[in-house]
Amino acid sequence: MKQMSKRASIGALIVGNLLAVGLAPSAMASSHREAPFITRQPKVDGTDFYMFRSYQTGRAEYTTLVANYMPLQDAYGGPNYFSMDPDALYEIHIDNNGDAKEDLTFQFRFKNTNKDAQFTIGGKKVSIPLVINGGAIDGPNAAGVNLRETYTVSVVRGDRRAGSRAAVTNADGSGSTFDKPIDNIGNKSIPNYEAYAAKHVYAVNIPGCATPARMFVGQRKDSFAVNLGETFDLINIKAPAVEFDANAEKGAKDDLAFKNVTAIELEVPTACLLSATAGDPVIGGWTTASLRQGRLINPTPKSDADVSREGGAWTQVSRLGMPLVNEVVIGLKDKDKFNHSKPSADAQFADYVTNPTLPALVEVLYGSAGVKAPTNFPRNDLVAAFLTGIKGVNQPKTVTASEMLRLNTSIAATAVGAQHRLGVIGGDNAGFPNGRRPGDDVVDIALRVVMGKLCTLSIGCVPADAPAGAIRFTDGAYLDETFFNPTFPYLKTPLPGSPQK
């Protein structure tokens, strides 16, 4: 739900939601800036969540989890760039028995260390002003790095607050602290960023898992594509049609084409994510970020580590499972409430799915083109897509209606070159909404599903319920697997701040 809200990339969906509440276009993509409070906390703003069977050659027994944070990063955003928040808790949750509660949680904590690089000026040692780089950088914790960013990871089994907790460790025996690569400042500071970032891909041991996993945390090219400008201008794009129209589906500008994000990525042996007792190949996943309840600002700080003090219980402020939910499904008055909630409490948001406003808004905006909203209420097709999983595809044996990304791990990955960007509705059951791969065009998929595409497949409704179910709704910002790498960490190298072209 949250992903829909942050990225305003769902095109007609997001615009319609904004029109309904009379807001200026502050949402920016799948889940960028989707709720009022999170706009003030960009470091803990989750933008996209992916969960898919690994399709890299030789990695068929693994599942990849990707949680993107910190939206709309400009490559030239110095001098501080985009370090993660050391006062925050970032988490990826897995439900492997269908009860809408986490059974496995990966917790990430970050730390910044100021090396205080200095020059001798007139006989005095003086700290340099550059926040990140004091020289050329070619590997983890290089001498030229002035601000070192590290992180630790814990795996929690059971309740994320009360369950058993153990540290994830480096498989080479070097401990439980990992270096995060600095952002892509430019090719003078980091001549070969792709090679530099690759040195931060770690083989790791997850307690309770016999086979090592892989992990990467760092800046990447934003993986979402969306036509923001024309979407927010009352969906000022070409009216949708039943037949393929390249000008409509490929002709729009991706307004995130020059933005980066920060990705938290894990590639875990699939068997380690499954329940030993439930016997169910379907898992659910979502990502959250939490802050301490209290913050005291120091009016006279003596150092950068003395600016504030954080305390109190962890409080969840960001949540993201299915893309575009909080952004274009949840009503304005409940957006912050959704970000603070757990899947097990999602019954309180059911009306937004069973009686959605977005299709009606799309009908108003495209009515002159003959577009009609689906007529089946409750919208059981959307309940299947967002809250229960689709029977025979990704519905767990035990069904608890709740919003999360669901993946049937018994469905083999579709090989590179054969993936369909429309996932399940394109005939590729290894794609969204059965999990989500980087190359799944969730904006176009979500637009078509909300307007009744599943009815044409007799999932939760019948074709007669969806007069516009066969229309190829699109925001025009095209996306498919060719926009990504075929190997872990899959997302593209981030755009450099220099040289500018």
pLDDT digits (tens, 9 = 90+) for 254-264: 888 899 999 99
Q: How far apart are CA 15 and CA 124, in angstroms?
A: 57
Identify the CA nearest to 435 among candidates 289, 275, 315, 322.
322
Respond yes or no on whether the N-terminal peptide bond of residue 191 is cis (omega within 30° of 0): no
Instruction: Note the pLDDT of residue 10.
Output: 31
Q: What residue has token string 């904590």?
A: 109
Q: What is the pTM of this model?
A: 0.91
Q: Which residues pair with 94 in a beta bridge?
A: 104, 285
| Cβ contacts of 336 within 8 Å, gap of 6 or more | 35, 36, 37, 38
Query: pLDDT band for position 236 (50/70/90)?
Result: low
Q: Which residues pair with 202 in a beta bridge?
A: 215
Query: pLDDT band for position 231 (50/70/90)?
Result: low
DSSP state of 143: T
Within 13 Å and on the Cβ side, how many CA atoms surround 110? 25
Q: How far apart are CA 498 and CA 483, in angstroms?
A: 22
Lowest mean pLDDT among 45-59, 297-311, 431-445: 297-311
Q: What is the dihedral of CA 479, 486, 392, 448, to 10 degrees?
A: 0
Mean of the per-residue pLDDT values for the chain? 88
- By three-state DSSP, how is residue 227 classified? coil
Q: From residue 113, how far is each of 75, 149, 202, 229 by CA, in Å?
A: 22, 6, 21, 39
Q: Could you tell me what percent of the chain has a pLDDT over 70?
A: 89
Instruction: Note the pLDDT of residue 7.
Output: 34
Q: What is the pLDDT averaged over residues 82-99?
A: 96
- Amino acid (1-letter code) at residue 147: L
- Amino acid (1-letter code) at residue 483: F
Query: pLDDT band for position 8 (50/70/90)?
Result: very low
Q: What residue has token string 């305390």?
A: 311
- Give me 455's structure tokens: 């009815």
| Sign of the dihedral defined by the CA atoms of residues 255, 257, 258, 259, in that order | positive
- Give me 372's structure tokens: 């009609």
Query: pLDDT band for position 324 (50/70/90)?
Result: confident
Identify the CA nearest to 426 among candidates 389, 465, 472.
472
The DSSP annotation for 312-344 comes to: EEEEEEEEESSTTHHHHTS-GGGHHHHHT--GG
Decide: 93 and 320 in contact? Cβ < 8 Å: no
Work out the angle between the directed axes of helices 442-450 and 12-21 (0-180°, nearest 10).
Answer: 60
Q: What is the pLDDT averaged over residues 396-403?
A: 96
Instruction: Note the pLDDT of residue 501.
Output: 65
Instruction: Note the pLDDT of residue 147.
Output: 86
